Chains A and B, each alone.
Chain A
């Protein structure tokens, strides 16, 4: 019984971790659907958003390190701190600006290129953003605190203690993340079903040429979708940043989102969520049962191998569109 309850706790924590992966995967799916671009930079966008948020909150001087090195000054901070909500709004603006810049400087020139070239371009973009984030705000690990509660949920622990005799440990941050992710998905659904722009977005995702021919501006849709992806990245950045500090490894979670996408299918929003949950639970359980036998740290590769094996049986993922090929 004890063992079973412990495994159940692992499952619940896996679900929570899965929500975090799904948050990143969501940004991927949005961009892939609307522009056919496989955006490797999504994880770095989350890192960049989190760095900008912390920088704005603490009133850091952007590019301080570079200015100091060039002019011999000793700039550090402006000496103010912004309230979290203002900083978040400003960061969202920065992400919109970034989306416009990406569309103007990169995407516009790469229309009609083969997917691998676009993918490579987003890797170049990822390197650029990573460098930019470090140069602007400094490369040291930062703490992000926007008022999301952290630590074990006492209430849940006592309730489960009473019911089963075993107190479940669940981080309050994870519960918040799950709630926010649910709200985000709901908002995206409402947006894409009931607004004009949302409909245009779905039309573009369906068929570029048909959308163009009924007068939808592709470039506006791209800016829109990259802005939304930037916003999703900001949310993911806040959640991951509050959980484990804002640091370089944040951009690596993007890679974890890839097997999530493969499981769920590149083109499906529910797929991203379900895939995230499966990967989250799967890797936690595997680490719990098999990890001790093989030396641990299986979380590094389990997701990829699971996705690989899964794809051999269903190449388009769980919810992906069926692949039809003609000669």
Chain B
């Protein structure tokens, strides 16, 4: 009763092909956007922005990107951390070389640069498949991190080897640097997340997305019915890397402010984002957000319980946290291998009938 698909009639093609064809979905989406844009910026404080909301949005973008590659196009990648580093270093180089241009344009350009790098490392996917490809993408991860560590040009020859985000403003508000307010950080990330999610949603519904899914389901069959694997796989790598690059740029410039490549963009980041995609649900836009929310909130929650309530020392709590997160992931995979998105689908299924049994 609460969730209805019936009775929602369309009278034009335009209506039928809008982003959210169901009225209920559309209202829910507008309501979420209204809360996200109008309510949260007024009540947000530094703790919530830095510990929960900003990382959630940034990781959502990265998870969206990886979900396009892994969930929609079926190419497993373990190089996400490396591609995030490309986005971060590209923003750093661009914003320090051209300080007059808006940082938002730099972030988008950084995404573009990452897309090119991603396509380059995506080339072997035409020959290698499955786990072999997953391990091959590790080459991107380790090579890129090494490159940003060893070539001083990338970090402007700074003595510490770190990159620090220069202070930049958008419409008179600081969005990077230490003076940035919590609402500004949040809003910048939110604009990117909403825009990119909208693009992802529409890409995956259209021709490109269908080609990706055909390649994912069986690449030889897809090739026979006329999908060009070269363009399909490379566009998947390009679009995915664009998203991941933007996420890396935001992660460094808005969220962290200063970054050291091995620490911020190491192999663990790649796994973390892959987990978000798997736990959220492969091949689902909603799942990318849900997975990111889950893995951002879980450590915060565990830390509050273990350190705050039980009073254990932080190093012990960190190890226990690792254990619990690991165990939870295994439990999750056993209970619901299709992720949170599947739970959401089941909930909708239930709501369709509730409170009636049939």
Interface residues, chain A, CB within 8 Å of chain B?
Answer: 38, 65-66, 69-70, 105-106, 109-110, 113-117, 119-121, 123-132, 134-135, 139, 255, 258-259, 261-262, 266, 294-298, 300-301, 304-305, 307-308, 311-312, 315-317, 323, 325, 327
Q: Which residues of A contact B143 (CB under 8 A)?
A: 301, 304-305
Partner of A69 from B141, B149, B313 at Cβ < 8 Å: B313
**With A65-B316, A327-B221 known to touch, is A308 a contact of B139 (CB < 8 Å)?**
yes
Quick one: which of A38, A119, A131, A296 has the most chain B CB within 10 A?
A131
CB distance from A298 to the nearest CB of B (A): 7
B327 at the interface (CB under 8 A from A): yes
Q: Which residues of B contact A120 (CB under 8 A)?
A: 274-275, 278, 329, 333
Partner of A123 from B129, B141, B142, B275 at Cβ < 8 Å: B275
Is A124 a contact partner of B326 (Cβ separation < 8 A)? Answer: yes
Q: How many interface residues does chain B have, given as a range?
A: 35 or more
CB distance from B260 to the nearest CB of A (A): 15
Residue-by-residue, is B314-358 near A (CB-CB < 8 Å gives 1, otherwise 0)? 011001111111111110011001000000000000000000000
Quick one: which of B150, B311, B316 has the most chain A CB within 10 A?
B316
**With A69-B312, A327-B221 known to touch, is A124 a contact of B330 (CB < 8 Å)?**
yes
Is A124 a contact partner of B150 (Cβ separation < 8 A)? Answer: no
A135 closest partner in B (C-beta): B319
Quick one: which of A105, A114, A296, A304 has the most chain B CB within 10 A?
A304
**With A115-B131, A255-B267 known to touch, is A325 a contact of B138 (CB < 8 Å)?**
no
Closest 4 CB pairs of A and B: A127-B326, A128-B326, A131-B323, A124-B329
Known: A123-B329, A134-B319. 18 other contacts (CB 8 A): A69-B311, A69-B313, A113-B333, A115-B130, A116-B278, A117-B337, A120-B274, A121-B329, A124-B325, A127-B322, A127-B326, A131-B326, A135-B319, A259-B138, A300-B146, A308-B124, A312-B127, A315-B128
B76 at the interface (CB under 8 A from A): yes
B224 at the interface (CB under 8 A from A): yes
A325 to B223 CA separation, bound complex (whole angstroms): 13
B132 at the interface (CB under 8 A from A): yes
Partner of A121 from B138, B323, B330 at Cβ < 8 Å: B330
Is B139 a contact partner of A297 (Cβ separation < 8 A)? Answer: no
Q: Which residues of B contact A70 (CB under 8 A)?
A: 310, 312
**With A120-B329, A123-B275 known to touch, is A128 a contact of B322 (CB < 8 Å)?**
yes
B94 at the interface (CB under 8 A from A): no
Partner of B220 from A106, A305, A325 at Cβ < 8 Å: A325
A127 to B221 CA separation, bound complex (whole angstroms): 38
Q: Which residues of B contact A296 (CB under 8 A)?
A: 150
B271 at the interface (CB under 8 A from A): yes
Q: Which residues of B contact A308 (CB under 8 A)?
A: 124, 136, 139
Is B330 a contact partner of A106 (Cβ separation < 8 A)? Answer: yes
Q: CB within 8 Å of A: which of B107-131? A: 124, 127-131
Residue-by-residue, is B277-295 near A (CB-CB < 8 Å gives 1, otherwise 0)? 0100000000000000000
B135 at the interface (CB under 8 A from A): yes
**With A301-B143, A308-B124, A327-B224 known to touch, is A106 a contact of B334 (CB < 8 Å)?**
yes
Is A258 a contact partner of B142 (Cβ separation < 8 A)? Answer: no
Cβ contacts A to B, 24 pairs, < 8 Å: A65-B316, A66-B312, A116-B76, A117-B333, A120-B278, A120-B333, A127-B326, A128-B323, A128-B326, A128-B330, A134-B319, A139-B315, A262-B135, A262-B136, A294-B150, A295-B151, A301-B142, A304-B136, A304-B143, A305-B143, A308-B139, A323-B129, A325-B220, A327-B218
Is B127 a contact partner of A315 (Cβ separation < 8 A)? Answer: yes
Is A307 a contact partner of B135 (Cβ separation < 8 A)? Answer: yes
B70 closest partner in A (C-beta): A116
Q: Which residues of A contact B319 (CB under 8 A)?
A: 131, 134-135, 139
Is A131 a contact partner of B320 (Cβ separation < 8 A)? Answer: yes
Is B139 a contact partner of A304 (Cβ separation < 8 A)? Answer: yes
CB distance from A72 to the nearest CB of B (A): 11
Q: Which residues of A contact B315 (CB under 8 A)?
A: 139
Partner of B323 from A119, A132, A255, A261 at Cβ < 8 Å: A132
A94 to B30 CA separation, bound complex (whole angstroms): 55
A298 to B326 CA separation, bound complex (whole angstroms): 31
A148 to B171 CA separation, bound complex (whole angstroms): 67
A117 closest partner in B (C-beta): B337
A24 to B236 CA separation, bound complex (whole angstroms): 34
Q: Which residues of A contact B333 (CB under 8 A)?
A: 110, 113, 117, 120-121, 124
A110 to B274 CA separation, bound complex (whole angstroms): 19
Q: Which residues of A contact B316 (CB under 8 A)?
A: 65-66, 69, 135
